[in-house]
């Protein structure tokens, strides 16, 4: 019998539930992976996969390489939330796991000039020296669930975040995922790439252990815009009509299917008025206390 040990809370024992989940990437859709839920913290974990880097070859998400109607709407939501949390144009910002650098390009176009990115798997941004500096703001979008040690990653963020700095972590939320309905959550599960999907309890506890303070939590996925054709309802219906593989989101639409699917027309227009009720994503805003400033005021 396998031993189930949660890397987040340390609980060892039988999971509260488990299931074999297919990959949502077309090349691997016939492969299934064991996913189990920790009975203590509620986080989800994928079985250990041999040669995981091979799955990242021709990774569909890297095809999102330019700003356009959709990306601008979604990143506009991100910027609004960061500004609400206190981001200023003069702040230094690190996008950790920046991919092709779209968020950096978007922020610079809006006047946020002091931005850099790091991504281990993208040659243009694999520059370890940027991780030796310190930053007013660190953003981390859909990365922590991909790493073997979320604990080490949060510790690194805390180390390079300036006192009083803002940390934004966007990640799937295990609490909102039902393993009993895998096709409904197939893209949030995203097997086998999502190694550890944290529960809200596990993520906030991990951050608090590192001395960070939770400032706010957003549950509406940032890719759920209030603009036509850019809502989550439309995106998910579109992918379902094209085989429910994530590849379809980065390919030209099959117009015959679109024209023959009334639901797609409906959700393209009215999806923004019908926000998804899922709470399977979370964007957590955290602060690193400025103890020196606090002592000075005292």
Encode pLDDT of 254-270 as tens digits: 667 667 788 888 888 88
pLDDT tens profile 139-198: 999 999 999 999 999 999 999 999 999 999 999 999 999 999 999 999 999 999 999 999
By residue count, the chain amounts to: 298
Q: What is the CA radius of gyration of the chain?
A: 19
Same domain, 102 and 175: yes
For the segment 79-94, the average pLDDT, to the nearest whole number, is 97
- The pTM score is 0.92
CA distance 282 to 218: 6
Same domain, 130 and 178: yes
296 pLDDT more than 60:
no
Are the beta carbons of 35 and 45 closer than 8 angstroms?
A: yes
Same domain, 244 and 289: no
Specify if 39 maps to a domain: no
Range of the domain at 86: 59-221+285-297
Same domain, 106 and 205: yes
**pLDDT band at residue 292 using 50, 70 and 90 as cut-offs:** low
Specify if 199 maps to a domain: yes
The per-residue pLDDT for 228 is 85
Same domain, 84 and 204: yes
Specify if 19 maps to a domain: no
For the segment 243-263, the average pLDDT, to the nearest whole number, is 79
Comparing 26-30, 215-219, 252-256, which segment has the lowest mean pLDDT? 252-256
For the segment 205-234, the average pLDDT, to the nearest whole number, is 93
Same domain, 157 and 193: yes
113 pLDDT more than 60:
yes
Same domain, 109 and 229: no
What 8-state DSSP symbol labels residue 271?
G
Closest residue by Cα to residue 11 from 283, 205, 211, 219: 205
């Amino acid at each position: 019998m396998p031993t189930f040990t949660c890397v987040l809370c340390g609980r060892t024992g039988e999971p509260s539930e488990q299931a074999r989940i297919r990959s949502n990437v077309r090349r691997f859709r016939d492969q299934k992976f064991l996913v189990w839920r920790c009975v203590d913290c509620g986080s989800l974990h994928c079985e250990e996969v041999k040669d995981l880097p091979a799955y990242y070859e021709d990774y569909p998400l890297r095809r999102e390489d330019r700003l356009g109607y959709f990306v601008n709407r979604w990143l506009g939501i991100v910027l609004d939330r960061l500004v609400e949390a206190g981001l200023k144009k003069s702040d230094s910002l690190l996008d950790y796991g920046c991919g092709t650098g779209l968020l950096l390009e978007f922020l610079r176009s809006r006047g946020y000039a002091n931005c850099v990115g790091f991504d281990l798997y993208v040659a243009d941004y694999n520059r370890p020296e940027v991780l030796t500096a310190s930053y007013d703001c660190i953003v981390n979008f859909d990365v922590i669930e991909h790493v073997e040690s979320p604990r080490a990653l949060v510790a690194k963020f805390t180390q390079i975040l300036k006192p009083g700095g803002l940390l934004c972590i966007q990640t799937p939320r295990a609490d909102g995922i039902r393993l009993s309905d895998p096709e409904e959550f197939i893209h949030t599960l995203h097997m086998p790439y999502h190694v550890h999907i944290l529960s809200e309890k596990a993520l906030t506890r991990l951050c608090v252990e590192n001395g960070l303070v939770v400032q706010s939590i957003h549950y509406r996925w940032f890719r759920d815009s209030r603009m036509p054709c850019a809502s989550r309802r439309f995106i998910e219906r579109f992918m379902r009509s094209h085989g429910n593989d994530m590849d379809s989101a980065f390919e030209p639409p099959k117009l015959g299917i679109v024209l023959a699917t009334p639901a797609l027309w409906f959700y393209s227009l009215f999806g923004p008025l019908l926000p998804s009720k899922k709470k399977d994503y979370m964007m957590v805003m955290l602060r690193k206390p400025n103890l020196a400033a606090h002592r000075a005021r005292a």
